[in-house]
A and B are shown apart, each in its own frame.
Chain A
Amino acid sequence: MSTPLLEVKNLKKFFDTPRGKLHAVDGVSFKIEKGQTLGVVGESGCGKSTLGRTIIHLLESTEGQIIFNGEDITHINKKKRHYINENMQIVFQDPCSSLNPRRTVEETVQEPLLISKRLKSKASLQAETERLMDLVGVDRRLRLAYPHELDGGRRQRVGIARALSLSPQFIVCDEPVSALDVSIQAQVLNLLQDLQKTQGLTYMFVTHDLSVVRHISDNICVMYLGQLVETSPSKELFVSPLHPYTKALLSAIPSTDIYAKRERITLKGEITSPIDPKPGCRFAARCPYVCDKCNEPQRLEELLPNHFVSCCRAREINDL
């Protein structure tokens, strides 16, 4: 297999809080192959967004290693930061706050090009802006519109155009559709998929929306309180989830089949605090299969080909 575009090893991001260290991302490892999409799912506050932001250096990691295109980019200087910013971009969740309200669509899309000084002449800058706007499907006549004059879908398209303007290889999509209407969601998702095909992009798709992640991802990581609990090819995950948390998560997807007998797994108890957590499985407090061994640190194990689970009882539970 070729070298993966992005490899993350044991990445940790802790925040200092008055009550102790908040383990937002705690020992996450994964790989993304070029041209593929990794979906990252988990409930709110489990560190999905922090993970994405740490990888692209919007936040600095506490520990671990990030390898991009075979190059270690964990610690970077200014020059390297420029290189990384040109190759790793982000599409934000809320198109309202991710666009400067006082800059027109054109200014927003053009700014990265302007700063990078790639295009010298005004005409080529203009042409490139128009090309980007066509690419993401924003009408050229909206060139001089302000973000508040656009609807959510268009705004998100402008955000995507900005992310694409430096022709990056890797884009972190930080819940790009969760603030949009369902019909617009589909449009934006299709746009992202088309762009992936035509531009050869690699995505890390952070979301809490399981149906979205199923639609767009090749592989899926399930996170719980900063840790990876399960990772597998996306098709397999939905058919045979192995970790008890994933099972509960997937059982929450509403079904359109009214005759299907479904067992809704309701989790009891509260999420454990991410501040200075105990070693061991973080899901233990809510897990129906909890046992003594759960208090020991868990390790990701490959139970099925390419399907990793971090649960000491996964074999037992799933009769493997």
Chain B
Amino acid sequence: MRHKELTVETRIKKEGQLTQVMHRLRKNKLAMAGLYIILILIIVAILSPFIAPYDYTKMDMSLKYAKPSLKHIFGCDDLGRDIFSRLMYGSRASLSLGIIATLVSTFIGIIIGSVAGYYGGKIDNVIMRLLDVIQAIPGMLLSIAISAALGSGFINTIIALAIGGVPMTVRLLRGSIMTIRNQEYIEAAEKINATKLRIISRHILPNSIAPLIVSVTMGIGNTILMAASLSYIGLGIQPPTPEWGAMLSAGKPVIEKYPHLCIFPGLCIMVVVLAFNMLGDGLRDALDPKLKN
């Protein structure tokens, strides 16, 4: 009992909730590693014009398929372009596409999911059947169709990638909202004249969003792969703008002879996805006040 009181005492000095979450996140080494990797990659993406050793379009046919060396640490591709520099520039397209498209689809998903989960009944039925239609189309095919219809380009690619992710988010959120919906503290909130918006935003979402955070962080990795596939078939990001997935696909035909064309973009994608997953796991724990200490 003495111990419990002490911990409560110390926490009274605490500040906002965000600081608290950060404090708990900081204790999780894996999550922090993930966070640092992501931060480093974002910095690299922003600063790539200044820190990249070569221009990403500079070709040198004498260096075609050059193996990694001191001058070109990751080697060169089929047109003799420096892979290391192209990866640095490529992180811009890959990261921004992955993060923005996932955030957009999550945002739309949260709105639709809250409405479906909170109101239930007919509204829920209509929404879910419409989403079933979207989900009946394979995700990749849907992205290709939208992307082909809208044309390539950054915004259009984001729309193409985001729509496919919405049903998943809605389903996940709707499920956890439905369990929270019947809790007595929601009734209590209704009883104190709280508006529906307040009930959803203050009482329901904070308690049902935890599973979503993990799915969002994992979704970013998945979206990066999707974006790569789109540029592989000529949609999405257009060459010569480098993009990790496109680089990966470009190296595929020569993977046996020159594996470094595939290894480095592949490693980059893997590291990003891993970093997001580690961060997501850590965030889920840090956001749950019950797991404190």
Contacts and interface: CB of A to CB of B under 8 A. Distances in A.
A112 B188 CA distance: 10
Contacts of A43: none
A115 B191 contact: no
A16 to B, nearest CB: 12
B191 A97 contact: no
A58 interface: yes
A82 B195 CA distance: 11
Contacts of A94: 184
Given A143-B12, A146-B289, A148-B290, A112 B192 contact: yes
A267 interface: no
A58 B8 contact: no
A116 B198 CA distance: 13
B184 A92 contact: yes
B188 A90 contact: yes
A144 B207 contact: no
B95 to A, nearest CB: 31
B188 A92 contact: yes
Contacts of B4: 149
Tell me which of B11, B191, B203 has the highest count of chain A C-beta atoms within 10 A of its own C-beta.
B191
**B contact patch SS:** helix
A100 B203 contact: yes
B15 to A, nearest CB: 10
Interface in A89-108: 89-90, 92-94, 97-103
A162 interface: yes
Contacts of B190: 58
Nearest to A113: B192
B193 to A, nearest CB: 5
Given A85-B192, A115-B192, A141 B14 contact: no
A192 to B, nearest CB: 17
A86 interface: yes
B263 interface: no
A103 B11 CA distance: 14
Interface in B9-54: 9, 11-12, 14
A144 B10 CA distance: 11
B206 interface: yes
Interface string B237-271: 00000000000000000000000000000000000
A96 B207 CA distance: 14
Given A92-B184, A94-B184, A100-B185, A149 B8 contact: yes
A97 B11 contact: no
A102 B9 contact: no
A81 B195 CA distance: 12
A58 B185 contact: no
A100 B184 CA distance: 9
Tell me which of B183, B193, B207, B290 has the highest count of chain A C-beta atoms within 10 A of its own C-beta.
B193
A152 to B, nearest CB: 14
Interface in B182-208: 183-185, 187-195, 198, 202-203, 206-207
Tell me which of B8, B202, B203, B207 has the highest count of chain A C-beta atoms within 10 A of its own C-beta.
B8
A97 B189 CA distance: 12
Given A97-B185, A99-B185, A100-B203, A111 B8 contact: no
B86 to A, nearest CB: 45
Interface in A34-49: none
Contacts of A92: 184, 187-188
B198 to A, nearest CB: 7
Nearest to B190: A58
B175 to A, nearest CB: 18
A115 B206 contact: no
B288 to A, nearest CB: 9
B179 to A, nearest CB: 11
Interface string B107-127: 000000000000000000000
A145 interface: yes
A142 B8 contact: yes
Nearest to A102: B206
B186 to A, nearest CB: 9
A94 B192 CA distance: 18
A98 B184 contact: yes
A58 B207 contact: no
Interface string A112-147: 100110000000000000000000000001111110
A150 to B, nearest CB: 9
A56 interface: yes
A97 B290 contact: no
A56 B191 contact: yes
A250 interface: no
A166 interface: yes
A141 B9 contact: yes
Nearest to A98: B184
Interface in B161-190: 183-185, 187-190
10 contacts: A58-B191, A90-B187, A98-B183, A101-B207, A103-B202, A111-B192, A144-B12, A144-B14, A148-B289, A149-B8
Interface of A: 56, 58, 81-82, 85-86, 89-90, 92-94, 97-103, 111-112, 115-116, 141-146, 148-149, 159, 162, 165-166
Interface of B: 4, 8-9, 11-12, 14, 183-185, 187-195, 198, 202-203, 206-207, 289-290
Top 3 A-B residue pairs of the complex, sorted by shortest distance between their CB atoms: A112-B192, A98-B184, A92-B184
